[in-house]
């Protein structure tokens, strides 16, 4: 069971990251904090940072470095066109899965 949850969360975390970055640009640490506001999505940086690194390598994220004399520079990430496209595809896929699961559950109810 725990392995199933781990696998499911892995895929969902990437989707959640894209959703957060679609809403506003953010820096990596803040993304971890945002995700941890949701009990079902609690993650550590060792999960989030490699995902961000891969997405950036795949040109799905854009980077903007903002220097600050009040503190360290922040590396702000936002969705690129490719990133938005992936988010759209993921949304469609998830909606499809949800519909199918709902259909199965409904048919199961009817046969009871």
Partner 1 sequence: MNYAKSTQNEINKYLNAVRKNMQHAPEEEIDEVIMHLQEQIDVAVEESGDASNESDHIKRILSTMSHPESFATSSDQKSKGMQWGVVALLTAIVSWAFNLGAVPHFSLAAVVWILLIAIAAVAAVTGRKTAVGKVAIAILILEAVSFPVIHGLNMETKEAKETKETKETKQSTELSEAAVEENRADLTKLQGKWTCYRNNQRWVKEIVGDKETFAIFVDGEAVYGHTHTVKLSKRGSVCIYATSAGQITIGKRKGEAMKPFSFIYKLNGDSLIESLGFLDKASNLSDKTQIVTWKRSTAGSLADREQEPEPKGSIVLWRVGSPHRGDTPPELVPEYLQDLADKQGYAVTVRSFAAKDFHKVFWAAAEKNAEPDILHIDNGGILGDRRRNYIMQTDLGNFTGISAKENIRKSLINTRGLGGWYVLVSTSRNHAKARTLVDREPEPELPASAQEGIPELAPNEKAAVSQLCIDAFTDSITGDDSIIKAMADDFDSLPVRLWADRVDGVKVKKVKAYGVFGTDRLALGLVTATVDKPRKDDRMAQLGQTTTLFIFRREHEGEWKLIATRGVGGWEPWIWDMLKDLGNAKPQEQEAVTIETPKLLSPADGARRPRSPRPDIEWVGGGDDAVKYVVEAQWGSRGTDQWYLSNFDVFSENAIMQGENGVIKMGAPFGAGAQPHRWRVWAIGPNGETELSQWRRIDFSN
Only one of the segments 11-19, 52-60, 80-88, 89-97 lies at the binding site for partner 1 (rule: CB under 8 A); that segment is: 52-60
Q: Spell out the residues 6+ positions from residue 42 whose beta carbon is closer than 8 angstroms to its own.
A: 35, 36
List 53, 94, 97, 101, residue binding partner 1 (CB under 8 A): 53
Q: Which of 9, 13, 20, 27 binds partner 1 (CB under 8 A)?
A: 27
**Residues β-bridged to residue 44:** none
Q: Is 56 in the site for partner 1 (CB under 8 A)?
A: yes
- Residue 5 binds to partner 1 (criterion: CB under 8 A): no
For residue 108, the tally of other CB atoms under 10 A from its CB is 9
Q: How many residues are recorded in the chain?
A: 112
Beta carbon nearer to partner 1, 32 or 87? 32
Residue-wise burial string across 83-98, b where 16 or more C-beta atoms lie within 10 A, e elsewhere = beebbeebeeeeeeee
Identify which of residues 55 and 87 has a Cβ nearer to partner 1 in the complex.
Answer: 55
Residues in 64-93 at the binding interface with partner 1, rule: CB under 8 A? 64-75
Q: Please state, in angstroms and as integers, the Cα–Cα distance from residue 98 to each residue in 40, 64, 102, following that order.
A: 18, 35, 6
Which spans of this chain sit near partner 1 (rule: CB under 8 A)? 27-29, 44-46, 49-50, 52-54, 56-57, 64-75
């Amino acid at each position: 069971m725990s392995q199933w949850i781990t696998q499911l969360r892995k895929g969902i975390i990437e989707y959640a990251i894209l959703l957060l970055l679609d809403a506003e640009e953010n820096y990596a640490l803040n993304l971890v904090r945002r995700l941890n506001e949701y009990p079902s999505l609690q993650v550590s940086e060792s999960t989030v940072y490699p995902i961000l690194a891969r997405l950036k390598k795949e040109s799905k994220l854009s980077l903007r470095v903002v220097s600050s004399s009040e503190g360290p520079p922040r590396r702000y990430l936002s969705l690129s066109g490719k990133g938005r496209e992936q988010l759209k595809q993921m949304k469609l896929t998830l909606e499809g899965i949800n519909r199918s699961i709902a259909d199965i559950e409904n048919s199961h109810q009817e046969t009871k």
